[in-house]
Amino acid sequence: METHEQGNETFRDSIATISEEGKRAWIFPKKPNGKYYNYRSWLSYALLIILYASPFIKVKGNQFLLFNVLERKFNIFGFPFWPQDFHLVVISMITTIVFITLFTVVFGRIFCGWFCPQTVFMEMVFRKIEYWVEGDRGKQMRLNKQPWNAEKIRKRLTKWFLFFLVSFFTANVFLAYLIGSDKLIMYITDGPFLHMSTFVGLLIFTGVFYFIFTWFREQVCIIACPYGRLQGVLLDNQSVVVAYDYKRGEKEKGRAKLNKREDRNTSGKGDCIDCKQCVHVCPTGIDIRNGTQLECVNCTACMDECDSMMEKVGFEKGLIRYASIDEIENKAPFKFTNRMKGYVAVLTVLFGILVGMLFLRNDVEARILKVRGQLYEKLEDGKTIRNYYNYKIVNKTTEEIKNVTYKLISVKKGEIKVLTDDIITVPKQGLTEGELYIDLPQYEIKDGRAKVKVGVYSGDKLIETTMVGFSGPRTFR
């Protein structure tokens, strides 16, 4: 008999997916079955629909989600973000990181098991195809051992072909996030040879997805994912994780196989019947009975499996369940700790700032900056000072802005004149640049400097205002 409390920590000396010879030990997890697996399946179908559909959904003409790094165009929930909005992207990212951190402190790696794209694709797409083509754990292990006969070749080729199709399709959608779905559709219609570099990129993405889900698999979570490696810092005894109730599972005499002739309640043996189903079902190959481990992605498969074993032998369910170490050791109820309160406070402030900035953000941005190296010019009348400027108008909307003019708002006398265009039009989701000058009477300039408020109009409608610095001679007061 083996017990949890014997302090046998040898499992920490190795990882389940590497053999003693240092080679990859392939995991053949049993197909999960149960309440949590069903919930996870439904959630992952919803997530997959969102993921595949998002680049093709338009909000007011904007792609719902777009991460065009090359052209520096980003749309989040249909809101276009320009390089000028970079501060918003940074605050959104900080807020997301704090949110995930808080979530991890309270609920452990629930994100990994339920929401992470790696788990969703691996367990809900590629693994399901594998079960469909090769069968459950036993059949897969047999197939793996058998020589390359007709059956093995057929099954493996079918699986790899389907994996390639899914990877190729996913790579196309991934590309739609990067270059925009309209462009992707145009490229597909044109054919790959007209857009060779994009096509090569597509094949590279396909190859990366294929490699990850066909071969690398759980290694992403175990050795590559930085979030996974942070668990040791973020989790504490109050964090809720997928946990084995070793107090109940081991009792005084430890876990033991079921003996129908003995009364388990009086035998002193734990409720764990050592069926190892929780180990066989685990996609990272660990034994959750050893305690919380870095490899555990909280996928709940062992909870389902153990519950079904408990049901079969007539014991209470929940031997493996969502619980904190405190709850298992001391039956302590969930506590909202000071650390959690701190994270909530920071998150609330960040979220408030983000919402405020989103509301204050303008669909049109105008910048008027002095031409470099030029101070001012005194006109022939001797009373007027002229400054030259470069202007830029960014239009983040999906409508063209026509008939744009500038007017001086904060001064009664003076003139603003565009030099480059007679009629300014700003294309949708584009920008217009040019040159202009501003004339001010000398008495408007105090101490050689003035600030002028300039209005940007489309027809008669004021669409943006901007403050412009003006310089002149110091002597005029």
Our CB check for ligand SF4 shows the closer of 305 and 365 to be 305
Task: Give the distance, in angstroms, between the CA of residue 284 and the centroid of all CA atoms in the same chain.
Answer: 22
Stretch of residues binding ligand SF4 (CB under 6 A), selected from 48-56, 70-78, 94-102, 304-312: 304-312
Stretch of residues binding ligand SF4 (CB under 6 A), selected from 14-22, 305-313, 366-374, 465-473: 305-313
Least distance in Å: CB of 272 to ligand SF4? 3
Name the helix (H) or strand (E) containing 36: helix 35-53
Least distance in Å: CB of 118 to ligand SF4? 12
Helices (H), 315-337: 325-330
Distance CA 98, CA 325 (A): 23
Residue with tokens 């920008």: 431
Find the farthest-apart pair of alpha carbons in the chain and give their distance in angstroms, rounded.
Answer: 114
Q: 3-state SS of the chain: helix, strand, coil percent to 5?
A: 45, 20, 30
Our CB check for ligand SF4 shows the closer of 163 and 244 to be 244
- Interaction with ligand SF4 in 264-303: which residues (CB under 6 A)? 272-278, 281-284, 286, 288-289, 296-302
Asked if 219 touches ligand SF4 (CB under 6 A), the answer is no
Least distance in Å: CB of 312 to ligand SF4? 10
Site mask, ligand SF4, residues 317-346, x = CB under 6 A? --xx--------------------------
Q: Which amino acid is at 261?
A: R
Our CB check for ligand SF4 shows the closer of 274 and 326 to be 274
C-alpha triplet 239, 243, 248: angle, nearest 5°: 125
Our CB check for ligand SF4 shows the closer of 290 and 458 to be 290
Asked if 15 touches ligand SF4 (CB under 6 A), the answer is no
Least distance in Å: CB of 335 to ligand SF4? 23
Distance CA 284, CA 38 (A): 20
Our CB check for ligand SF4 shows the closer of 159 and 289 to be 289
Our CB check for ligand SF4 shows the closer of 310 and 452 to be 310
Residue 364: φ, ψ to 5°: -125, 135
- Interaction with ligand SF4 in 414-453: which residues (CB under 6 A)? none
Which residue of 85, 250, 305, 327 would you call a contact of ligand SF4, by CB under 6 A?
305
Asked if 12 touches ligand SF4 (CB under 6 A), the answer is no
Asked if 365 touches ligand SF4 (CB under 6 A), the answer is no
- 421-456: b (≥16 Cβ within 10 Å) or e: eeebebeebeebeeebebbbbbebbeebebebebbb
Q: Would you give the end-to-end CA distance of the chain in angstroms? A: 97
Least distance in Å: CB of 22 to ligand SF4? 23
Our CB check for ligand SF4 shows the closer of 319 and 366 to be 319
Collect all residues with Cβ–Cβ distance below 8 Å to 12 and sequence separation of at least 6. Answer: 293
Asked if 2 touches ligand SF4 (CB under 6 A), the answer is no
| Bridge pairing between strands 449-458 and 401-408 | antiparallel
Asked if 16 touches ligand SF4 (CB under 6 A), the answer is no
Least distance in Å: CB of 111 to ligand SF4? 13
Residue 409: φ, ψ to 5°: -100, -40
Number of residues that bind ligand SF4 (CB under 6 A): 29
Our CB check for ligand SF4 shows the closer of 302 and 436 to be 302
User: Residues 68, 180: contact at Cβ < 8 Å?
Assistant: yes
Residue in 391, 386, 390 with CA at minimum distance from that of residue 438: 386
Least distance in Å: CB of 304 to ligand SF4? 9
Residue with tokens 């909202």: 336
Least distance in Å: CB of 140 to ligand SF4? 17
Asked if 350 touches ligand SF4 (CB under 6 A), the answer is no
Collect all residues with Cβ–Cβ distance below 8 Å to 409 and sequence separation of at least 6. Answer: 453, 454, 455, 465
- Interaction with ligand SF4 in 240-259: which residues (CB under 6 A)? 242, 244, 249
Q: Which amino acid is at 437?
A: Y
Distances from the Cα of 318 to the Cαs of 172, 256, 263, 310, in angstroms? 42, 18, 20, 8
Least distance in Å: CB of 16 to ligand SF4? 10
Distance CA 428, CA 80 (A): 11
What does the binding site for ligand SF4 look like in residue numbers (CB under 6 A)? 242, 244, 249, 272-278, 281-284, 286, 288-289, 296-302, 305-306, 309, 319-320
